[in-house]
Amino acid sequence: MKIINGRTYSLWQQFWDQREQWIGGELVDTELTPLHTTIEDVIFEENGDDSAKFGFKGNKFDCWFDVQIGGIGGECPHPKGISFSAAYGGSFYAVKPERVESGDEVNHG
């Protein structure tokens, strides 16, 4: 179990433990114009002295939030994916564990 600032975060730990499943998958920043990139790693690390940050590192950009203000939720643009949102700034992003195959279009709703 990864300990960050003296705490454990079981919800986010599962993504960290299973990061090999996500590497190579798709990260989508679902703001105004969706941006897509390939996931290179899971971000799960210290954020200041009393919190942690969680997210995904992509080959073109990263999406993450402080665990105190973000969570799982929102409409996902792909049926096999998971959406995340942060309370501040209303940022949303989604991940899919495997790459989108040719012809397997992502629905941007």
pLDDT tens for each residue of 26-42? 999 887 688 999 999 99
| pTM, 2 dp | 0.82
Going by pLDDT thresholds of 50, 70 and 90, the confidence category of residue 107 is very low
Give the length of the chain: 109
Q: Is residue 86 part of a domain?
A: yes
Look at residue 5 and tell me if it is in a domain. no
Please check whether residue 65 is in contact with residue 55, taking contact to mean a CB–CB distance below 8 angstroms. yes
The answer, yes or no, to whether residue 108 has pLDDT greater than 50, is no
Number of domains comprising the chain: 1
Which of 58, 97, 57 shows the shortest CA–CA distance to 76? 97
**Phi/psi zone of residue 18: left (φ > 0), alpha (ψ -120 to 50 degrees), beta?**
alpha
How many angstroms separate the CA atoms of 17 and 39, rounded? Answer: 15
pLDDT of 109 reads 34
Structural domain span for residue 24? 10-96
